[in-house]
Amino acid sequence: MVAELVPSPPPLVGCLDALDSILNEMPTDAYDSLDPATQRHAVERLRRIKARLAAQELAAVRALDAGLGDKERTGEVLARGFGRDKWEADRSVRVANQLSSAPKTEDALASGELAETQAAVIAGTMAGLPEGVTPEQRDVCETTLIADAKRFPIKDLRQRALRISDAFKPEPEAKVDEDEALRLREKKAWARTEAWLVDDKDGTWRFGGRLPSLHGEMLKSALDAIAAPRRRHLTAEQERDQDELTYPQRMGRAFAHLIEQLPTDKLPTTGGTPAVITVNIDLEDLKKKIGAATLTTGTRISSGELRRLACTQGILPMVFNGGSLPIDMGRSKRLFTPAQRIAIANRDLGCITPGCEAPPGWCEGHHWKDDWANGSTTNIDDGALLCSRHHHQAHDENWQFRQATDGHIEIKKPHGVWQRNHRWRP
């Protein structure tokens, strides 16, 4: 009986088997026992190994794409594989083929000198160079970008890569081409712009989307400006609270604050109806500071949150007397005007909470004499400055306020004594 000959696997398959075997010997909980220096070193080594594996994967993708030819779209095949979606699969095919135009970049990725994101930027740039670029110029261009990748963050590398082809064009032509390329890029960015919001039914919403670069920079700048003062300007207790917040948490709170400050009276109207959120609440519940309020969309909020918003926002409160007809509708007149805020700021010089150092620009106007449900007016003497954090606390904890004989506002917290912010007038 003749034994059937079984062909041995290619050496490359044996290497993959060896990699699997090695990973089986690396328990993920073993890193907990390492000292911090060794842990950091392990992370860096793993990132380099990850880059080297990415080079192998992209080379395999390129070979698969060449082998499939017109039979099937490679991206569709990959999308049906392990952990991929169609967009990510198509990106892998694109980057894999672009690397054939950047052999030095592929070598640097395979040796762990570049990350996959860096290699993708360089490969895309090399594939897009004009036809007239000589081999010597291509070599210098690629070498320069690889060196740049080791010095600059990925955002700067992308900017360098966008301009690199201009070095091979006459200056007038480069400017025209750059302007045209930017126009095309902006047009494509606008076409890809989107946003989505999902109510998770637990008191929070998830949202995401994509913005053009200009609007992304504008939004980030605004959020950074709002979030930055929260880092190091409050009391010791508040500083500890802020230390526990991650950057995304700070930016999320800044985004919520930005939404509250939107000038709804400046927004486009729909069929003649202003884009204003109406809040409905029963008069007796409002006066007793109990119960809840209902937005026009059906969402429920606490009466305390409503009273806080009524001090500063263009939100429209609608008070009912237990029946179906409203007995009072608040007016945006209750918002302090810029001139009134300046006058109040000259008196308070910042948040009036004892120990708080928030300046006027970080504060909101608060009706300290009474809330709008009890007929508060919007006069300078009725207003006081509170930072966002203390404004929440004032409503939640029912702080008391009074005006001293010298005109300055004093605060009494529950179970406390009357105090004023002496930081501003030592």
pLDDT digits over 92-136, tens only?
999 999 999 999 999 999 999 999 999 999 999 898 887 778 889
C-beta of residue 169 within 8 angstroms of C-beta of residue 177? yes
Give the pLDDT mean for 166-175: 58
Residue (of 74, 49, 75, 54) closest to 64 by Cα position: 74
Name the DSSP class of 31: G
pLDDT band at 13 (very low <50, low <70, confident <90, very high): confident
Strand 205-210 versus strand 316-320 pairing type: unpaired
pLDDT > 90: what percent of the chain?
A: 21
- Of residues 266, 297, 262, the one with CA closest to residue 279: 297
CB of 45 within 8 A of CB of 31?
A: no
* Amino acid 413: pLDDT: 92
The pLDDT score that the predictor gives to residue 98 is 93
282-333 residue pLDDT tens: 666 656 665 666 665 556 777 667 666 655 555 555 555 444 444 344 444 5
Q: What residue type is 126 in one-letter code? A: M
The helix-helix angle for 116-127 and 154-163 (nearest 10°) equals 10
Dig out the tokens for 350 from the structure. Answer: 């910042």
The type of residue at 189 is: A
Per-residue model confidence (pLDDT) at position 362: 78
Token pair listed for 24: 């089986």
Angle between helix axes 388-396 and 303-312 (nearest 10 degrees) is 140
pTM, rounded to two decimals: 0.46
Please tell me the distance from the alpha carbon of residue 363 to that of residue 352, in angstroms, as a whole number: 10
What are 225-267's pLDDT values in tens digits?
777 754 444 434 444 455 567 888 888 888 888 887 776 666 5
- What's the confidence (pLDDT) of residue 421? 85
pLDDT, tens digit, 9 for 90 and up, residues 48-64: 999 999 999 999 999 99
pLDDT at 424: 47
Q: Using pLDDT thresholds of 50, 70 and 90, give the confidence band for residue 400.
A: very high
175 or 192, which is more confident: 192
CA dist 204 and 238 (Å) reads 24
Mean pLDDT (whole number) for 418-426: 68
| pLDDT, tens digit (0-9, with 9 covering 90-100), for 76-89 | 888 888 777 788 88
Q: How far is CA 123 from CA 53, 94, 101, 182, 185, in A?
A: 17, 10, 7, 20, 19
CA distances 20 to 53, 110, 237, Å, are: 12, 19, 50
Per-domain residue ranges of the chain: 43-172, 198-261, 267-333, 336-412
The one-character DSSP state at 268 is P
**Mean pLDDT of the chain, nearest integer:** 77
DSSP state letter for 226: H
Q: Which of 102-106, 152-156, 346-350 has the lowest mean pLDDT?
A: 346-350
